[in-house]
Structure 1
Amino acid sequence: MKLHKEGYTIMAVTAIVLILINVGINYLLPDGYWIPRLILIGSIIIFLLVTQFFRVPKRIVHQSDRQIVAPCDGRVVVIEEVVESEYFKEPKRQISIFMSPLNVHINWNPISGVIKYFRYHPGLYLVAWHPKSSTENERTTVVIRTIEGIEVLFRQIAGAAARRIRWYVKEGDQVEQSTEMGFIKFGSRVDIFIPLDAEVKVNLQDKTVGSVTVLAELK
């Protein structure tokens, strides 16, 4: 299993702490006690859970100028018409995907084009499903303009547990659909805003596979 670079430090620190705990327990308790064995088993489980947060999946993707793909793994929790107030300042279709701690945490570009707008916003750490998390939590806002001039906006949003957002794009970059654009550590959500006339291809509660699942098709 390939592991993501964003997890190297966390996995190393976790391993060191767990090793020190187990060494200390074995030193303090004589042979024959069951507690050291129980703590060792628990430590292995904890390390495996932390490790799986940073797995990098192998996926076969098919790029399309007309299709908008899911920027992350997760579950569709919102499909609604809203007024996007930061960039478009007009009605758009919002699709929100909730990422649980068990999902792959990589984020991908939903469509090919040029990064026309990027902003990082420090903020709160409300739970990801809170109505105000999209506008008050720590987040990034990214707008991609396609070769045909269509703009798609998406946000990485930190949650109560996800307190670290990473991004690998900046304004002016040319990006390709389904390529890696960032990482959210320990789960959260991603909002994507698309044109109202785009044909939505997912339903509420659908599971998404980042860089693969088609969220919508552009007219």
Structure 2
Amino acid sequence: MTKYGNDRAWPFAEGGGGTIAFFTILLATAVFLWFQFTNWGAGLFLLLAAFLWLLILYFFRDPNRQIKAQPGLVVGPGDGEVVEIIKMTEDRFLQAEVIRMSMFLDITDVHVQRVPLAGKVALVQHQPGKFLQAFRPEASELNEFIAMVTDSEGYGRILTKQIAGIVARRCLNYLKPGDVVQTGQRFGLIRFSSRVDLFLPPTAQMLVKVGDKVTGGITPIAQLKKDHE
């Protein structure tokens, strides 16, 4: 077992800085107007600005986590609830039989995604699409998404999809092909409620079931076997 820290000083998601800055300026403006006019209108604006500012800070929170990596152990690619686990054929990126685990992230979940298993990034591809409700099964193929394929050093290829939803209209992935990644490493962000799909080799021993809550980088999702085993 290897254990390493994934700490950093900035406690908010990479990619959320612009939004946080906008609402901080809005709050500062509301404070200024309150001191200038001190009436019910300025007070109401101040309360609304403070509420929105706190809501944005809460949404973009990105807590540090101690990641415990084990050979072949797949960890949660993000926070959320498991809504589907099925066997299927993934024709586009892996061209193979797979097990697909789908997670739904609601507004209260941490929306930062983490690498499920160490390896090398083989592909990162953005696909425009629809904005159906993220929990619907067809959202995996029809909605806008970013697909990332990683070669997991003897355990096969893993596909991770960040999928936009009816509210979430933007996915971010910070990686590029050729990057070497570690288990639990931050790699992306989806704004507001959304979905993450994880495609694993068909021999994966699943360690979660539908209805389970998953914590990104922490919850064991599946145990993989070496390709030659």
TM-score by length of 2: 0.85
Alpha-carbon offset, residue 78 of structure 1: 0.8
Instruction: Tell me, yes or no, if structure 1 residue 129 matches structure 2 residue 129.
Output: no
Q: 1:10 aligns with which of 1, 5, 19?
A: 19
Q: List runs of 5+ in structure 2 lacking aligned partners.
A: 1-9
- In structure 2, the partner of 1:170 is 176
Aligned length: 216
- In structure 2, the partner of 1:44 is 50
- In structure 2, the partner of 1:90 is 96
Q: Is the 8 A contact 2:160 2:198 kept in 1?
A: yes
- In structure 2, the partner of 1:189 is 195
Q: List runs of 5+ in structure 1 lacking aligned partners.
A: none
CA distance 1:133–1:26, shift in 2 (3 Å): farther
Q: What is the percent sequence identity of the aligned residues?
A: 31
- In structure 1, the partner of 2:118 is 112
Where 1:5 maps in the other structure, the secondary structure is: coil
Alpha-carbon offset, residue 66 of structure 1: 1.3
Kindly report structure 1 stretches of 4+ aligned residues shifted beyond 3 Å.
17-27, 33-39
Q: Which moved more, 1:150-159 or 1:82-91?
A: 82-91
TM-score by length of 1: 0.89
CA distance 1:25–1:124, shift in 2 (3 Å): farther
- In structure 1, the partner of 2:224 is 218
Matched to 1:104, the amino acid is V
Where 2:22 maps in the other structure, the secondary structure is: helix
Matched to 2:106, the amino acid is S
Matched to 2:102, the amino acid is S
Alpha-carbon offset, residue 149 of structure 1: 4.8
Matched to 2:157, the amino acid is E
